[in-house]
Amino acid sequence: MSAELLTVDTVAAYIASRAPLAELVDVSTLSVVEVGDGNLNLVFIASDAAGASLVLKQSLPYVRMVGESWPLSQDRILAEARGYDAAIALSPESSPVYYGFDEPRRIIAIEDLSDWTVWRRSLNDGRITPGAAAIIGRHVARIGFGTSVFGRGPADVKRAIAASINIDLCQISEDLIFTQPYIDHPDNAWTPGLDEAVRSLREGGLIDEIAALKHAFVTHAEALIHGDLHTGSVFVPADGSTGARIFDIEFSFYGPIAFDLGSFFGNVLLAQQRAAVLDRPAEFQDWLDGLIAEAWDAFESEFRALWPSRVDASYTDAFLDGWLRQTWSLAVGFGGAKAIRRIVGLAKASDIESLEPSDHDTAAAEVLRIARSWVERRESIANAAELSTVGR
Ligand code: SR1
Ligand code: MG
């Protein structure tokens, strides 16, 4: 049975009924707006006359971007609550403040970051936000290390894997990222100018490489990952200062740590091609070109810094070197797959979609060309400097 859905008219009474939330805002002067512009959920901002505010997120019993014809269990918000529990425990400074979870109503409450900007929008506007990529890299390292067999005992990890299965949303990722872009599927769509570029994805060995990446996604139950860590899942400060807050964790499950890094890499590629076609200033494009190195370097440094605290010393230093190499290659491959899906399949990205038609096709074709190289050459691309030259 579905949990009763909130509306702008019932949010104040709901907050009043939840003592920890009622302490955060004055419910007698509350104004409420529904701001959900993502693909799946209801999101409300409740603000009082003195300026105090909070955000409520409730899962709908269907996929918002499609409608009730695509039912989806509201249970997915359990994964988001687990994701916040881990993020708050292991990487609190790069997470919104988490005010808790109402399991029966399928509602989580978090800090209102309305005075921040979703990073994708800020990138689309050509704004430099220093240090955000490093924060993402450190965040992935801290949660990846802390929830894996490096940071927790094996029995604990096995229990966590069992507790964090997220069947419906993993199925969405498997379908939208690794399957549908490479077959005829009604949810795929592209402009006529991209026809040849898209059709050619099915030629040569790309689908075999995508199969290997899909297998890694489905079977590498390594750590509790975010599962959808694109630039639309990150808030950055609107004033250009350094910071990042990672949100929207409903796709979390025990999967490959490289998937979160790759999700970010693929979205950087979208931002880069948008910037190139719009001829953004060199300073902005150069900064974009450094984001993957910034994220990876921070990830690797943080992981190496945490390594001496691992709970099982039978994982040797040489093993770590090999694991990092593997994680890098896999992240590059996932990055390519994530970029391709945003051009071909359901749920596209505004970086490319908001471009004028001719710019759109130029940028999208470049994304496909470079992303393909990332996937196919991922094992031989040594580092971020080399990655930045691939396909260019
Ligand atoms: C049907 S859900 C479509 C997409 O929205 C989310 O942001 C995920 O990326 C998912 O693949
Ligand atoms: Mg999302």
**Model pLDDT for residues 8-17, shown as the tens digit of each residue:** 999 999 999 9
* Nearest protein Cα to ligand 1, atom 7: 39
Mean per-residue pLDDT over the chain, rounded: 97
H/E segment holding residue 334 = helix 317-344
pLDDT at position 1, please? 73
Q: Do residues 94 and 132 touch, judged by C-beta distance below 8 A?
A: no
Ligand 1 contacts CB of residue 244 (under 6 A): no
> Average pLDDT of 57-66?
96
In sequence order, what are the residues at sequence separation of 6 or more whose Cβ sits closer than 8 angstroms to the Cβ of residue 216?
Answer: 256, 258, 330
Which tokens hold the place of 197?
């570029």
Location of each CATH 3.30.200.20 domain in the chain: 11-110
223-225 vs 116-118, strand pairing mode: unpaired
Location of each CATH 3.90.1200.10 domain in the chain: 116-387
- The proportion of the chain whose per-residue pLDDT surpasses 90, expressed as a percent, equals 98
Distances (CA, A) of 93 to 88, 90, 142, 310: 8, 9, 11, 22
CA of 39 to the centre of ligand 1 (A): 6
Query: 96-112 pLDDT, tens per residue?
Result: 999 999 999 999 999 99
CATH number of 11-110, picked from 3.40.1210.10, 3.40.50.1360, 3.30.200.20, 3.20.20.70: 3.30.200.20
Nearest ligand (C-alpha, residue 66)? 1
* Nearest protein Cα to ligand 1, atom 9: 228
* Nearest protein Cα to ligand 1, atom 3: 347
CA of 346 to the centre of ligand 2 (A): 13
Query: 365-385 pLDDT, tens per residue?
Result: 999 999 999 999 999 999 999
Ligand 1 contacts CB of residue 63 (under 6 A): yes
Ligand 1 contacts CB of residue 291 (under 6 A): no
Residue 55 scores a pLDDT above 90: yes
Ligand 1 contacts CB of residue 228 (under 6 A): yes
Residue at token pair 């094992």:
379
Residue of 69, 120, 172, 179 to mutate, ligand 1, most atoms within 8 A of C-beta:
172
Query: 284-319 pLDDT, tens per residue?
Result: 999 999 999 999 999 999 999 999 999 999 999 999
CA of 347 to the centre of ligand 1 (A): 6
116-118 vs 234-237, strand pairing mode: antiparallel
pLDDT at position 391, please? 83
> Average pLDDT of 26-48?
95
Q: Do residues 43 and 56 touch, judged by C-beta distance below 8 A?
A: yes
253-255 vs 62-63, strand pairing mode: unpaired
CATH number of 116-387, picked from 3.90.1200.10, 3.40.630.30, 3.40.50.1000, 1.10.287.810: 3.90.1200.10
> Average pLDDT of 52-80?
96
